[in-house]
Amino acid sequence: MKIIVDAFGGDNAPLEILKGCAQAVEGLDIDIMLTGREDEIRRVAKENEISLTRMEIIDAPDVITMEDHAGEVMKSKSNSSMAEGLRRLANGDGDAFLSAGNSGALVVGATLIVKRIPGIKRVAFAPVLPKNQGCFMLIDCGANVDCKPDMLRQFGIMGSVYMEKVMRIKQPRVALANIGTEEHKGGELQHEAFAMLKNSNINFVGNIEARDIPYDAGDVIVSDGFTGNVILKMFEGTAMMMMSKIKGILTKNLPNKLAAALLLKDFKIMKKTMDYNEYGGAPLMGCAKPVFKSHGSATAKTFYNALRLTKAYVDGGVVDEISASVQEYKEKVNAGEAE
């Protein structure tokens, strides 16, 4: 398998990206195609003694920054490492594309260059996040601020396929993020999406209140991108705030420090299970070929995890499975069995 990597995406590019790639070539048995400034890639690799074995480099002079407007990926920055990587993916030069760069640009670039799966209305960011036990997918998490009910239906299907094929959860429970569990809760978007999800060929378990999201109430949480982004960041912010309070207690004074020494290992495990970085990033669901987004602040470890998940995204045949679901739905509509 060959994964195309944006060597200049994210705050720690290219060093941490190259480190993560070198580890993944070994650990995951993959080939890599790097896009970015070839000179700099070779220089950084040499200075840091990073092997470039099984890595091909495609020179791309421009870099999309976090401040760039999303559209620039197609305009003034069409020679960027991101745009070049997406073109290579579209051309079939690799099996997937991974970037830690500008999310907005990645959505625009992937949509226009790689294109969507025929029938899929919008691509969606869908991180897999830790919960009390195990993990869940939150879809969409910010790619689409305004959503139509049918988009939410498709998010549910795409999330269900991913969690089954990549995370190996049988019959993933799909739930709609809402302000109450009763069917009539929420606004028009939720009412219509509820009805559509109920009639879909997935394990839809109904509405879920945000309070229950961190618990084991759903494997796929469906939401518009605005709400999903708020859920993600509230989760992150609250968890971080709690962890800092715990740290405050454990380091408050000498007696506390002594007691903390005994508990440190367990608190470290807890922190690790809550660590967003362990999950590497988020697939961009709905693209015609696998595109994966790693965190802007990705370190080598995060990037390695992102490569691992990107590989699983390819191995799981997620794109084909979603295509088949869309096709099946279309046939149902044509046969008058669905709207």
Q: According to the binding rule CB under 8 A, does residue 74 interact with a copy of itself?
A: no
Q: Which two tokens stand for residue 149?
A: 């009910």
Closest separation between CB of residue 215 and a copy of itself, Å?
6
Q: How many CB atoms lie within 10 A of CB 146?
A: 9
Q: According to the binding rule CB under 8 A, does residue 181 interact with a copy of itself?
A: no
Angle, CA of 17, 87 and 159, to the nearest 5°: 70
Q: How far apart are CA 157 and CA 140, in angstroms?
A: 12
Contact map string, positions 127 to 146, toward a copy of itself, x by CB under 8 A: ----xx---------x--xx
Write down the H helix ranges in the chain. 15-28, 38-47, 81-90, 103-109, 149-165, 188-198, 225-250, 254-273, 300-315, 318-334
Closest alpha carbon to 204 in 182, 177, 173: 173
Q: According to the binding rule CB under 8 A, does residue 187 interact with a copy of itself?
A: yes
Closest separation between CB of residue 28 and a copy of itself, Å?
31
Q: According to the binding rule CB under 8 A, does residue 32 interact with a copy of itself?
A: no
Closest alpha carbon to 314 in 10, 98, 9: 98
Q: How far apart are CA 132 and CA 136, in angstroms?
A: 10
User: Per CB under 8 A, which of residues 44..63 are in contact with a copy of itself?
Assistant: none
Q: Single out the residue of 43, 168, 237, 272 in contact with a copy of itself (rule: CB under 8 A).
A: 237
Q: According to the binding rule CB under 8 A, does residue 183 interact with a copy of itself?
A: no
Q: Single out the residue of 262, 335, 336, 339 in contact with a copy of itself (rule: CB under 8 A).
A: 262
Sheet holding 128-130, edge to edge: 128-130, 135-139, 220-222, 173-178, 203-209
Q: Is there a contact between 203 and 171 (Cβ–Cβ < 8 Å)?
A: yes
Mapped onto helix, strand or coil, the DSSP state of residue 125 is strand
Closest alpha carbon to 214 in 188, 232, 201: 232
Contact map string, positions 94 to 133, toward a copy of itself, x by CB under 8 A: -------------------------------------xx-
Q: Single out the residue of 48, 53, 171, 256 in contact with a copy of itself (rule: CB under 8 A).
A: 256
* Closer by beta carbon to a copy of itself, 259 or else 324: 259
Closest separation between CB of residue 181 and a copy of itself, Å?
11
* Closer by beta carbon to a copy of itself, 236 or else 320: 236
Closest separation between CB of residue 37 and a copy of itself, Å?
28
| Residue ranges that bind a copy of itself, judged by CB under 8 A | 131-132, 142, 145-146, 177, 179, 186-187, 209-215, 225-227, 229-246, 249-250, 252, 255-256, 258-263, 266-267, 270, 274
